[in-house]
Structure 1
Amino acid sequence: MPIVDNAVYVCGHRIQNPSSLEETFEYMSERDGMAWIGLFRPTPEEIRQVAAEFALHPLAVEDALSGHQRSKLERYGNILFTVLRPARYIDDTETVEFGELHVFVGPNFVVTIRHAESPDLGRVRRRLESQPDLLALGPEAVLYAILDEVVDEYQPVCLGVENDIDEIEDVLFGGGDASLSQRIYELSREVIALQRATYPLAAMLEGLRRGADKYKVEIELQRSLRDVHDHALRITDRITAFRSILENALTVNATLVSQRHTETALIQNEQVKKISGWAAILFGPTLVGTIYGMNFTYMPELDWVLGYPFALALMAATSITLYVVFRRRHWL
């Protein structure tokens, strides 16, 4: 069993570190304690074993087994099932990595199933254990702390994405880059995924707040949930702004690329005009010279005294006429 940490708490203090689920139940029943079992990337069989021990609802277990769920909060009797999509920013690759966390919260237990490095539930556990009064409030306090950690870990992700957007804007208005469109598109996909992960949080936290009175959640936890709810709203608003900025950046980049292509086409067109104009000017004398260079016996101008000057004048006149025409049409 890939149990990262397994502890039984009484009045907010850790009293035992059971080595198996059987021992966990024994200590819970003997001391009327709360169990917190943390699993990391368990196999389907191991999830089913935990589900059987805690009588978890089959539908929730099915979601935990299939994975790739969207963030959500569901209640099955007296058990809450929460799916969270934590994220972390990878500096080396400038990308956002998403994980998946399933949390089962019962009357006297919490089971966390983590499928990625994020979030750091060890830090959450240490924080709660340093605040026995908060941990003594029960499984709901653990759920609040996990939600708080997941929302807080979105903050550095937003900072990383914001820095990427700043770099894109610098390149966009600094002359552009051939690969910029692809970079904007890739970052937009990450922002959309981040939006999908964070958008349901506000509704989830609002649902917890509405059910706080019904399930007699301590007033201190209700205040903490309001604080997490406010943070989640700020995060979602920020991510929505990111998406709008990237959509505008993609539009501006497409406009600039089109403008650059148009300018290039115009330059090329001007060059083609000049080449064509000079080619036509040179074609006139070439045509006259070619005609009088055919060496036929009967050509009237060959016996004419002014034939040669006439041919030269005709070449010059043709060239000058074409030059004037092309200059007036701004080809030269």
Structure 2
Amino acid sequence: MIRILHRNNDPNHDRATGTTVTVREGFKIEELPHLLADKSSLTWVDVFEPEKADDAQPGDTQTQLTNLLCGTFGFHPLSVEDALTESHVPKVDDWGSYVYIVLHAVRFDQGMDDVDTNELDIFLGQNFLVTHHTEDIAALERQWRNVLRDERHTKRGPDYCLYELCDAVAADYMPCMDAMDEIIDHIEDQVFDRPEPRTVGKI
């Protein structure tokens, strides 16, 4: 799934509508070249590509994403290959006209008493932000809704929008750590007060 959000800063457009700026979603991929041509605007493209089964064959989706990222945005094929291949350590690569960033968002799985990490690939340019992920990321969804609800989240440009996204991702770490801390405390109590064979499995 590919969704596109755009902030329009065209003064002529503003006078015609009587608004300062407009932030909308629902654009088509074919509209991207026109949206990106306005260097004073901001375009955020979010690519959600659910993980395929191990025996699944690469299909048209991978080709379309490669064409979009390399063709429309002009990203280097190596950075695109990195983004479409999961399991990278967090990093920042400067490619001159854009920056490629890898982050890991976290989510606490209460059923398994475990923390899941989800890779978030980000491309940051002069007037655009591109995000790619294979799992739902709560922090990204919050930031997307915030941008649509209040244009001030995009007023300072894509770099500040990225800062807020990173801040939201980091904020989700604390609840996970608190939950894990409670689990560790519970296991310690079991070890010293009422040890059981299954306690070893939890450790």
TM-score by length of 2: 0.80
Could you say which residue in structure 1 is the equivalent of 2:181? Answer: 162
- Match of 2:63, as an amino acid? E
Task: Give ranges in structure 2 of 5+ residues lacking alignment.
Answer: 10-19, 51-60
Higher gyration radius (CA):
1
- AA of the residue aligned to 1:61: V
Larger CA deviation: 166-175 vs 29-38 = 29-38
Shift of 1:178: 1.3
Matches within 5 A, 1:223-234: none
Q: Is the 8 A contact 2:32 2:72 kept in 1?
A: no
Question: Does residue 177 of the first structure (1) align with residue 196 of the second (2)?
Answer: yes
> Which of 101, 105, 111 is the matching residue for 1:86?
105
User: What is the percentage of aligned positions where both structures have the same residue?
Assistant: 26
Determine whether 1:106 maps to 2:125.
yes
Give the Cα–Cα distance (whole angstroms) in 2 for the partners of residues 138 and 70 of structure 1. Answer: 27
Q: Which has the higher strand share?
A: 2
Residue 70 (1) aligns with residue 78 (2): no
Shift of the alpha carbon at 1:131? 4.2
- 1:7 pairs with 5, 8, 30, which one? 5
Q: RMSD across aligned C-alpha pairs, in angstroms?
A: 2.1
Please tell me whether residue 45 in structure 1 is matched to residue 63 in structure 2. Answer: yes
**Which structure ranks higher in relative contact order (CA pairs < 8 Å, sequence separation ≥ 6)?**
2
Q: How many Å separate the matches in 1 of 2:87 and 2:39?
A: 37
CA distance in 2, matches of 1:100, 1:8: 24
Instruction: Check if 1:118 corresponds to 2:137.
Output: yes
Structure 1 partner of 2:15:
none
Could you tell me whether the CA contact under 8 Å between 2:39 and 2:127 is conserved in 1? no
Distance 2:106 2:142 in 1: 16
Unaligned runs of 5+ in 1: 185-332
Give 1:85 shift: 1.1
Q: Tell me if the contact between 1:7 and 1:14 (Cα under 8 Å) persists in the aligned partners.
A: no
Shift of 1:137: 1.0
| 1:179-199 alpha-carbon deviations (Å, 9 max, x no partner) | 222311xxxxxxxxxxxxxxx
CA distance in structure 1 between the partners assigned to 2:194 and 2:104 by the alignment: 37
Q: Alpha-carbon deviation of 1:46?
A: 3.0
Higher helix share: 1
TM-score (norm 1): 0.51
CA-to-partner distance for each residue in 1:110-143, whole Å, 9 max, x for gaps?
Answer: 1111111223422102223444334111110121
Tell me: CA distance 1:31–1:146, structure 2 relative to 1, closer, same or farther (3 Å).
Answer: closer
